[in-house]
Structure formats: structure tokens, C-alpha cells
Amino acid sequence: MASSPKSSSRIRPSASAGQGSLFESAATAPETASTSHTAVPPSTPQSLALPLAQQFTSLSPAWQSGISSFVSSPAYAKLCDFVDGERAQGKTVYPDEVFRALKLTQPQQVKVVILGQDPYHGDDHGRPQAHGLAFSVRPGVRPPPSLKNIYKEIHASLGLPIPSHGCLDHWAQQGVLLLNTVLSVEAGRPASHAKHGWEQCTDALIAHLASQYQGLVFMLWGAHAQAKRALLPPSRHTILEAPHPSPLSAHRGFLGCAHFALANAALTEAGKTPIDWQLPPTV
């Protein structure tokens, strides 16, 4: 595998393992302005957001096994009570479908993991930006500055045209897990749902992927994402690190990091189909 640029570092794979059991019961910095994949419709209106416990139990058995330890911990009930309580108070909480990334990409389909922080907390002329995928925005919403820098890097390293929209469903459907480490946020209040239990949940997901599979590519942009490197066992995966694509830091090494080309090189070396990073012209 080709060596990485200064902004990235990598680790290599070993044997994968199987999936676990079902749940026992049913129940970045923010900014504004193969197995066949399951088709997932656009996110439901905010008023139809399901109780959080119901969203947890709607996950596939494969994802449920990855967070079973979290669900059996006291943090799970506290998180559900907090998020549902915020909605019950009349607060606007984004996104309506918090697990859309996990619906579009099953664990056995994951090839690349891109970590974000928490969902976009704003809207674009009344249309919420967040729709459950890190860095992605709903169809019809203008791409935010960090996503524009991601597009610039892909254009510079792979020569692909810069899309006019910001919906990254096409990546997710190929095995790119676009995972925020906090999966909900109050409108207009960045990081408002941090430190209420989401971090334990997503840490469990990341650790599950890292321990049960091999040859994955983890893109860790910025200090927040790079703190998750401790969850990644050595000698199993490719780890690419760079500054966050925010306009405040992209010029410090994100632009020019070549992560998208390096990810495809690593996937090819591992015998996996590379990602088509070119988005469709319309969604």
C-alpha cells in the first residue's frame, strides 16, 4: 500500500468475526447555511420523529448486537429520557431520524468510516440541514462550508467535478459510514446534546466495527475524531488523519491530504471494490 502523506497514518488488518445477538426487548464542528443495500426513504417530518427507544429497536440485528452493551447500561435510559424530554418540551431537535446512517449502511457493508461531531443545527431557508448522515445535508439544502472543502479535496485529488448538492446518500449506499459521534442536537444550539450518552453509544459502534471486521478505512478529521483512535486495534485497519475540513482549519492540512484516493488504494489492496466518490448530478 502506498505510503500516506503527513496528514495521515495507517494501520493494517487481521481476521473478521461474526455478528452478535438482537436486543432483548423492543421498545466537525457544527455549521449553518456485496450485500444489497436497503433503500431508505427521505427523513420523516420533525413532527413524526419516533421516541428514541423505538428508533433504537428499529435497527437491524447486526447493528443492535454492536450496541447491546450500551443498551444494557444505565446511560441508555438516561439518553432516551433526555432526547424525548427535549422534544416533549417543544424544542426542535435535529434530525428526526437519528440512525439514518445505520439504516443506509449495514455493518457487514462498511468499507470506510468518516466521523463527524454532532448534526448540523441550522436550516437553509426553513429546510433543516441535518438528515442523519455526518457532513451530508438534505436534498435541496445548499452544501455547508466543510462539505464544500471536502468536495474541493476530492476534485483536487481525483479530478471529479464538484457537485451542486450536498446529499451523500450515494456514498452511504456503497459502504461509507457517515457517523457523527453525537446523533442529535437542539436547533440553533451546537453541541447541546453532547455528554448525555451519545458518545458511549457511538464508541460502542466504532469499537464493534473495529474488532469484528478487518481492512476498514477510518478517516479521522480534527482532534475530536482523532480521539477515537484509541478504539481502533492496531494492525487491522487503515487510519487516515488530517485537520477538520472546516474553513477554520482546512488549510492546515485537510486540503491536500489525498484521503479519498488513499482510501480507494487501501480498499483495492484489501481486495475490496473502491468507492465511487462522484455523486449523481441530482438527488
Q: For residue 274, give the DSSP letter.
A: P
pLDDT band at 3 (very low <50, low <70, confident <90, very high): very low
Distance CA 116, CA 168 (A): 13
**Which pLDDT score is estimated for 109?**
98
**Which pLDDT score is estimated for 196?**
98
Task: Pick the catalytic residue from 81, 96, 118, 203.
Answer: 118
Distance CA 98, CA 55 (A): 8
pLDDT digits (tens, 9 = 90+) for 37-46: 444 444 444 4
Q: Please name which of 192, 207, 179 lies closest in space to residue 70, comparing C-alpha atoms.
A: 207
**Does residue 21 surpass a pLDDT of 50?**
no
pLDDT digits (tens, 9 = 90+) for 62-121: 999 999 999 999 999 999 999 999 999 999 999 999 999 999 999 999 999 999 999 999
Distance CA 231, CA 228 (A): 6
Distance CA 190, CA 196 (A): 14
> For this structure, is 169 an active site residue?
no
Q: For residue 227, give the DSSP letter.
A: G
Which residues, other chains included, contact 138 with Cβ-Cβ below 8 Å and sequence gap of 6+? Answer: 42, 43, 127, 128, 129, 130, 131, 167
Torsion angles phi and psi, residue 242, rounded to 5: -160, 165
pLDDT band at 140 (very low <50, low <70, confident <90, very high): very high
Share the mean pLDDT of the chain. Answer: 87
Between 1 and 155, name the one with better pLDDT.
155
